[in-house]
Amino acid sequence: MIAPLIPRLAAVFDVSVQTIGLAVPAYLIAYGTATLVYGPFSDRLGRRPVIITSLSIFVVLTVLTSFAHSAMELTTFRLMTGLGAGGIVPLALMLIGDLFPYQERGRPIGWLFGAMAGGMACGSVAGVMLEPLISWRGLFWGVAAFSCITLFGLLPYRSLLGKGTVTVKPSLRVVARGYWALLDTVRGRRTYTYVFLNAVFHSGVFTWLGVYFSRRYGVGEVGIGLALLGYGVPGFLFGPAIGRLADRFGRSYLIPLGLVLAGACAFGLALDIPIVLAPVLVTLLSLGYDLTQPLLAGIVTDLGPKRGQAVGLMAFILFVGFGVGSLIFGAMLPLGIATDLFLFGGCAIVAGIVALVLFRAETPK
């Protein structure tokens, strides 16, 4: 919701787009860092109390964010919200790993990432289109209200979140060794490296798409919303189907395909193309993410017996990569958005070609 609003928020707080853009990596990096704590906590305390507590903190801090009176206050509240919300999505992925064997995880993980993609699509479009009507503060109140409804709607089904406590409570030393063990295998290092690179690419491009459409085509909030209408739609519609393909045929070709597709879309956006073609490339860019990140997450759930740590480490690397990508792209804005897109796209295509070799063993078991 915030990324497409960067041009509007920069005007509201009378700061540069780079300054207000820091609100995005502040949330993402804090979110990723917090997952290193929430994962082991859930292994010690159970998934249920951590998920419910994390969602409750998210509701409260989202309300407080609406009272920010400066770019610094907004960024600070976003950082705090990221720290509090870091236990929601990663623990949902851990639950899928608890409930489904590896050869059947593609479809439920597809549903999870499809829901995330649908949220991104809804936030990107609704945020910029509703802001002129209800203000940016009203947007945060709305998100908090829907999150509160979700929280109370979840409580009757809390038994599905697993037991409230667990008997095994590993020490901090065991937790640290567990993280090291995940990175001590070729498969683990390869997978986590691509999680990071993929996150850097997609966050760097997506965070600044609002600025891209504003500068390249001179469109306002509604125009940006319409241009981003397709982002997240492929995952929302086809996430489970992509997961089913991964279960049936493996991930060895789908992951490279997603990287090359996303890189090609970034190249296309850098060219002098008509505005009607740009939203199509944005939609295909989103499809590239859907062909990579959910499939990488499926591999992570199979890296070791300590699934909470494995997924927690992935979430840390993923969201730190999101934040780093946003920071790098923003720092390179003086070079021109087209140059940024060329460089990011070229790196994604190279990574996709290399992935053909690195992930060749990720075939159905």
Domain boundaries, the chain: 3-157+171-358
pLDDT, mean over the chain: 86
Query: Quick one: pLDDT band at residue 143, thresholds 50, 70, 90?
Result: very high
pLDDT given at position 229: 79
- Identify the DSSP state of 353: H
Query: Quick one: pLDDT band at residue 163, thresholds 50, 70, 90?
Result: low
pLDDT given at position 28: 86
| Residue 46 Rama label (left phi>0; alpha psi -120 to 50; beta) | left
Q: How far apart are CA 270 and CA 274, in angstroms?
A: 11
269-274: average pLDDT: 93
Q: Could you give the angle at which helices 209-217 and 186-207 cross, rounded to 10 degrees? A: 40
- Give start and end residues of each alpha helix (H) in 155-292: 172-183, 186-207, 209-217, 221-227, 233-249, 254-270, 278-290
pLDDT given at position 6: 87
pLDDT given at position 196: 95
Q: Is the pLDDT of residue 120 over 60?
A: yes
68-94: average pLDDT: 89
pLDDT per position as a tens digit, 188-240: 999 999 999 999 999 889 888 888 998 899 888 778 888 887 887 787 788 88
207 Cβ partners below 8 Å, 6+ apart?
3, 6, 21, 24, 325, 326, 329, 330
Q: How far apart are CA 317 and CA 36, in angstroms?
A: 10
Q: How far apart are CA 198 and CA 241, in angstroms?
A: 21
- Looking at the chain, the whole-number percentage of residues with pLDDT higher than 70 is 95
Q: Positive or negative CA dihedral for 32, 38, 43, 46?
A: negative
pLDDT per position as a tens digit, 123-134: 878 888 888 889
pLDDT given at position 166: 52
pLDDT per position as a tens digit, 14-67: 999 889 989 988 998 898 888 778 877 777 777 788 888 899 999 999 999 999
pLDDT given at position 88: 84
pLDDT given at position 171: 64
Tell me the two tokens of residue 253.
């070709």
Q: How far apart are CA 261 and CA 255, in angstroms?
A: 10
pLDDT given at position 315: 81
Nearest to 15, CA basis, from 73, 61, 58: 73
pLDDT per position as a tens digit, 242-251: 888 888 888 9
Q: Is the pLDDT of residue 75 over 70?
A: yes
N- to C-terminal Cα separation, the chain: 39
For the chain, state the CA radius of gyration: 20
pTM exceeds 0.85 for this model: no
What CATH architecture does domain 3-157+171-358 belong to? Up-down Bundle (1.20)
